[in-house]
Amino acid sequence: MTLRPVDDTTYLRLAAGTPLPIEQAPVWARFDAVVDGRDHWGRLVYRDDDGTPAAVVSFAVVRGPGGFRYLWAKNGPVWLVEPTPEREADLRGRLAARLADIDPRLVFVRLHATHEAPDLRPVLQGITYDRTVVVDLDRSEEDIFAAMKQQGRRAIRKALKDESLTVAEETGLDEAAFAELYEVFVETGEREGFGPHPARRYLDMLATLGPEHARVFVTRREGRVLAWALVLVNDGAALYSVGASSAEARQAYAADLLHWHVIQTLHADGVRSYDLAGAGSDRFPGLSGLTQFKTKFEKEITEVAPAWDVPLHPHGYDALVRGLAAKRWAAATAGEIRARLLSR
């Protein structure tokens, strides 16, 4: 088995016939180039003993606080054959050996793997999942709607009757228009307990990927934004990347109407699938609150390979784990102190 670098043309030729997640497509390098602390690193092909291409993978190099570096293959490797435990382990082993010679400053590699193994560690930071909801768009619109859960169909019908609601694609919006959407994103983060990236991150994504790959859909009530979604499209597959909805949107079923419009539009454009990006599981219960909403549109859950960290320098990686744990402890302690002071 071999692991070798390839150029973009060869990479795309080898992957032909297998849909590439957009983060593993060459177009993503344009986005990597403008994100602070991140750059495209390179693409590799992994071949079986008989020379058959078994997987392709594209990496970004990420520079973390303090100067440490790691590689990140988001939604990769892309397997062209069955990813057996032996193949996955061999690819990682060859990758680790190669990186030791190429760039000894790299502390770890983050990639996706179906099978657990001793060299895999839970990701230091970020969200990963091993289950998701994928709406099959390769059927008639009537069949898609009929296959939804009853509560999903009911919510969409109610929203469609509300004449105060409008939903449309707003791809190509300018910075001022996105600011209105971002306000709802901040509201959602405060409600759900997460901090969104600065607005510039999403504006850069829209600009570098372009309207062919990055599309924006918005539900409004009398002109006000209630819900929106940024959807990434590549090789006939769509991914719900990020979105938000106001408190008012919940009672109006604005998010249900939004995703139904996304489904209708993608279907009309010949896109074959719409991944709603993550559902809760026993291993990753943090997403369980979103599962009920997402399965309105598709009852079946799809198993996927979660992300893992592969330490290249175990002592350095363990130091990062300890440092991150200390940082989280300090933040939690500071939060408790503020809460006590405010309660006095």
Ordered structural domains, the chain, with CATH: 2-127+306-312 (3.40.630.30), 134-275 (3.40.630.30)
| Residue 65 pLDDT | 76
> Residue 193: pLDDT band by 50, 70, 90 thresholds?
confident
Higher pLDDT pick, 258 / 125: 258
Confidence of residue 101 (pLDDT cuts 50, 70, 90): confident
196/202 Cα distance (integer angstroms): 10
User: How does residue 340 score in pLDDT terms, banded at 50, 70 and 90?
Assistant: very low
Average pLDDT over residues 231-241: 97
What is the structure's pLDDT at 149?
Answer: 95
Question: What band does 343 get if pLDDT is binned at 50, 70 and 90?
Answer: very low
The pTM assigned to this predicted structure is 0.91
**DSSP string computed for 34-84:** TSTTEEEEEEEEEE-TTS-EEEEEEEEEEE-GGG-EEEE-TT--EESS---
Contact 73, 24 (CB under 8 A): yes
Identify the DSSP state of 23: G
Q: Lowest-pLDDT range, 11-20, 311-320, 332-341?
A: 332-341
Average pLDDT over residues 314-340: 68
- How much is the pLDDT for 342? 43
Alpha-carbon gap, residue 165 to 155, rounded angstroms: 13
Quick: pLDDT tens for 121-154.
999 988 899 999 999 999 999 999 999 999 999 9
3-state secondary structure of 222: coil
Q: What is the mean pLDDT of residues 315-338?
A: 69
DSSP annotation string for 274-328: EE------SS-GGGHHHHHHHTTT-SS-EE-PPEEEEESSHHHHHHHHHHHHHHH
Say how many residues make up the chain: 344
Copy the structure tokens of residue 219.
């539900």
Place of tokens 């539900």: 219
Q: Can you tell me the distance from the alpha carbon of 67 to that of 63, in angstroms, rounded to the nearest whole number?
A: 6
The pLDDT tens digits for 53-95 are: 999 999 999 998 777 899 999 999 999 999 999 999 999 999 9
| Integer Cα distance of 221 and 252 in angstroms | 9
Alpha-carbon gap, residue 148 to 153, rounded angstroms: 6
Do 144 and 134 contact (CB within 8 A), yes or no?
no
Which pLDDT value is given to residue 331? 54
- Contacts of residue 149, defined as CB under 8 A and 6 or more positions apart, other chains included, come to 295, 296, 299
**Residue 304's pLDDT band (cuts 50, 70, 90):** very high
Out of 61-75, 84-98, 217-231, 295-309, which region has the weakest mean confidence (pLDDT)? 61-75
- Which one has a higher pLDDT value, 228 or 290? 228
